[in-house]
A and B are shown apart, each in its own frame.
Chain A
Amino acid sequence: MAKILDQPRYKCAMAAMQTVQAITRALPILHAGPGCAEKLGGSIGSSGYFSPHIFPCTNISEKEVIFGGESRLQETVANALKVVDADLYVVLTGCTPEIVGDDSAEIIRTFQNAAKPVIFASIPGFKGNNYLGHEWVLQALIEQYLKPVPDKIKGLVNIWAGLPMHDPFWLGNLRELERLVAELGLTPNTIFGHDRGIANIAKITAAEFNLLVSPWVGLSSVRLLQEQFGTPYLHYPTMPVGASETSKFLRAAGAFAGVDPGVTEAVVARHEAEYYYYIERFADIFLETRVMAKRFVVVSDAQYALAFTKFLVNDLGLFPAKQYVTDDTPVEHQEAVREYFKELNHGIQAEVGFSSDGQQLQEEIRNTDFHGYPLILGSSWEKKLVRDLKAHYLTISWPIIERLVINGSYVGYHGGLKLLEDIYSVVLTRFN
């Protein structure tokens, strides 16, 4: 049933065109309205080898609504193959063809013998949001493009994490995960961003296992990979930020991959020593900044709400207020996500609210006593709220309009220090 979407923090499934765009030389072809790509593309960092206005699109008009858009789709794909220089063409169908009943799958089948691969995903906006759309695009890739390989490659690990482009730190985070996994002597394989892409897609089925670093997004994809190609997976729900969680993450990944625990412990020890060198030097500021918040709220998707709650509690020693998960987490995953927020040091548990109604959750935050200035990590939507509450405030998830993120990352030991830099750069603007 339609519900009020006040302060949207997700887009519709069609925004998963960004998942395709994040694969270098893969081209989304939209069977959708003329404005979908522009509205969903965002304006910061959405260009590249292709950009939303480069995506071929049937630009559905009244004619296709009345008479159907199959022939329009046919000619658009055929000509896209001639005009646009890509290596993988991914046809994405939106709301209109779904409602008017175009048989898009049948049209795409006619391109089976095209010079370049053409695959198809139905991702109409009304069927779900972009967190689900991302999964549906990965499923299309798995079912229509991946091929089994005779032999697995020793030590090869596929890593799956946050939503490409919608998560402002997606690529920086993914690269840091790669570096961490490589330090265990494993070979990371990812498909998004610079210098990965289609060559790495070909290696997906050769991996020894899939490593999913995400509370719930991506679960159905790694399960599908297991089902279709027999590849086991490790589901590590918390994006590791800071020493505590990153060391846990390395130990979990190492153990799953059968890495010699001595090797893992050496990596952990080296990083923790360096990390605590900095913490020790800057401990004064963490202990003696009088205006720093004692309590915090994260308003974000499950990934960041969980990751930052764990870091701020387990590393920095803050106390969690109620946390808000705004990605419309499917009901079947909510209980598991709720449980993750109970795995905090000293038996601390954080209450979690799932809501896509920003006004309502902000009302709750307004009515919370934080016993001092709160620290609020959220999106551009929190700007007015934090002004009223005199909160410390950092934007960390979509929509971020007044901050430029290029390849920044909050993952790992470095990511933890980076988050401390960013938080205290805000806190220090206030008289202490």
Chain B
Amino acid sequence: MPINLTETTAGTRETRLGSITGYNGDLQDLVHQSRCGSLQDRERCFSQSSTCLSGCALGQVSGIRDVAVINHAPSGCTAMAPGVDVLNSQLAAKIGVANNTVFVGTDMNEQDTVFGATGSLKEIIRETYRRYHPQAIFIGTSCVTGIIGEDVDSIVAELEAELPVPIAAVHCEGFKSRIWASGFDAADHAVMTSIVKPPQQKKPVLNFKNFFESARVEITELFANFGVKTQFLYQNSTVEELAHISESLATVCICGTLGTYLGNALEEQYGVPYVRTINPLGVTGFETWLREIGRVIHKQAEVEAYLAKERAIYLPQIEAVKKELTGLRAVIGMGPGYTFEVSRVLQELGMEVVWGAAWHYDRKYDNDQTPPALNYLVKNSPANFKLSVADQQNFEILNILNHYQPDLYFSRHPGTTVWAIKQGIPSVYVADEYMIFGYKGTLNFAYAVLDKLKNRSFETNLAARVKLPYTKWWYQQANATFLKEPTR
């Protein structure tokens, strides 16, 4: 389904991309079902607390410098504000800029749920502008505003005429989509429709979408080699910079789940090519990715020269550490982007992936194709392996770990790592999206895995002293026990 920027919302991934949160099978089956259109979501009759799209959506836009995010919601939905504020300060300080973005709420109360609160919302938007003079204003919606039918779009339309800065609704009602990554799309949609302008002139700039830009310096230096500048999105970007991302040479993203909407929208709307290779994690990923960028920006020869130089430095070192990792058995639990990408890297380093759990699964991306990392795996994985779509359901993961007893668990989301450790399984927290970036990142990652295996003190100390939160009965069940049969 093409991206529609004339609508006020991005729509959900369930409807746009056929995304699901429940599946239990294997790599070959998942790809087969995705391609022949038979893949169906399986709901759960038992679930643990997951994540909602609001955090993803507002987390994205609040990284932009000097904007205001106004969350039209009860106070709890705005509990992320202090974290955003401190994160913004720390990441801005890291690159020597200031980020004066503010994140406020409307503290909706009972009266508001009965009578509506669009009047107060309007006043709060004006007051926020008066206080901070932000460069743009994003209005977040919530479960409550969605259910009571607050017409936030009309308020936005009205205030657009009144205030001299872009203003957009970010539709992220928590119940609208089980796929929290729909929130990334909601953020992209708001940016595309309110801030990004049509191109005036092409510029030698690469749009680089990511989360926390920990490799900003390295990537900036990498592309300086090819005479190209990088525009990181959205953390630390300015509204003025965002207005011109339509003029860039191409868009790349560190995570397919994160980048699909913006990348495809820029390509469809303004002809900015979206680089859709596997991601630059691991050796194959990095080379494939950089070669494709080289092709798109017409710097093939320079890219090859760079790769040859770096290979000579790093490949022997990677090969050496790989000997110590070969044969280790791993379970992965991450978002779908990283589950498939990291599976490839683990295999590259000689490890065996015995189970991959993706928190959701996009049957296709916004270009109607199955995700490249999955295509790569189905062609190149040494063996078929078990896969589930697990919506961060910890009880399923611990059941899997108990059954398969892997050497390692790889996590990526806050609060998930400790549970594998409690079951005595060393865990590597792949939180930083650049943890395995490029040759050097791959080498560092390999050593992080090795170090974790060589010193298990923390894990064994804790595991010996704690009780697990699940019943014996649960550990005797199949991990898919609570997945219902497809209803469609």
Contact = CB atoms under 8 A, between A and B. Distances in A.
A354 interface: no
Residue among B77, B79, B124 with the highest chain A CB neighbour number at 10 A: B79
A8 B50 contact: no
Nearest to A62: B175
Contacts of B143: 33, 60, 95-96
Nearest to A27: B469
A287 interface: no
Interface in A174-216: none
B127 A4 contact: yes
Interface stretch (A74-82, A144-152, A309-317, A417-425): A74-82
A97 to B, nearest CB: 10
Nearest to A130: B76
A85 B110 CA distance: 35
A5 B78 contact: yes
Contact of B147 (A12, A39, A65, A130): A65
B55 interface: yes
B15 to A, nearest CB: 11
A56 B105 contact: no
Contact of B178 (A1, A59, A381): A59
Interface string B441-468: 0000000000000000000000000111
Interface string A65-98: 1000000000110011011111000000001100
A312 to B, nearest CB: 25
B392 A53 contact: yes
Nearest to B46: A79
A401 interface: yes
A11 B75 contact: yes
B81 interface: yes
A260 to B, nearest CB: 42
Nearest to A80: B46
Given A33-B143, A49-B466, A5 B105 contact: yes
A380 interface: yes
A59 B395 CA distance: 15
A215 B59 CA distance: 35
B404 interface: no
Given A8-B79, A83-B395, A126-B110, A35 B121 contact: no
Contact of B120 (A1, A356, A380): A1
Interface in A1-60: 1-8, 10-15, 30, 33-43, 46-47, 49-60
B106 A2 contact: yes
Given A8-B105, A38-B50, A52 B415 contact: yes
A359 interface: yes
B54 interface: yes
A99 B391 CA distance: 26
A83 to B, nearest CB: 5
Contacts of B429: none
A359 B103 CA distance: 12
Given A53-B49, A59-B50, A82 B76 contact: no
B415 A36 contact: no
B131 interface: yes
Interface string B50-90: 11111100000000000000001011111111110110010
A52 B49 contact: yes
B394 A62 contact: no
Contacts of B176: 62
A402 interface: yes
Contacts of B391: 59
A11 to B, nearest CB: 5
Contacts of B395: 54, 83-84
A102 B470 CA distance: 28
Contacts of A398: 82
Interface in B23-67: 45-55
A99 B394 CA distance: 29
Contacts of B178: 34, 59, 61
B436 interface: no
A379 interface: yes
Interface stretch (B111-119, B163-171, B322-330, B342-350): B111-119
A127 interface: yes
B306 interface: no
Interface in B355-392: 391-392
B394 A35 contact: no
Nearest to A98: B113
Contacts of A58: 47
A105 interface: no
B109 interface: yes
A54 B175 contact: no
A60 B175 contact: yes
B92 interface: no
B288 interface: no
Contacts of B82: 7-8, 379-381, 398-399, 401
A2 B120 contact: yes
Nearest to B395: A83
B77 A125 contact: yes
Contacts of A127: 109-110
Contact of B51 (A7, A38, A47): A38
Given A8-B75, A402-B86, A35 B180 contact: yes
Contacts of B102: 6
Contacts of A40: 76, 79
Contact of A36 (B72, B76, B418, B419): B76
Contacts of B470: 83-85
Given A95-B74, A399-B82, A5 B104 contact: yes
A59 B86 contact: no
A380 B49 contact: no
A177 B471 CA distance: 35
A30 B175 CA distance: 14
A109 B136 CA distance: 49
A83 B392 CA distance: 16
A39 B418 contact: no
A129 B110 CA distance: 12
Interface of B: 45-55, 72, 74-83, 85-86, 89, 102, 104-113, 117, 120-121, 124, 127-128, 131, 143-144, 146-148, 174-178, 180, 391-392, 394-395, 414-416, 418-419, 466-471, 473-474, 482
21 contacts: A2-B107, A3-B107, A3-B124, A4-B106, A11-B79, A34-B180, A38-B49, A38-B415, A39-B52, A39-B55, A51-B418, A54-B49, A56-B48, A60-B143, A65-B147, A83-B471, A95-B74, A99-B113, A126-B74, A126-B108, A126-B144
Closest 9 CB pairs of A and B: A35-B52, A12-B76, A399-B82, A79-B46, A125-B74, A37-B49, A2-B120, A57-B49, A5-B105
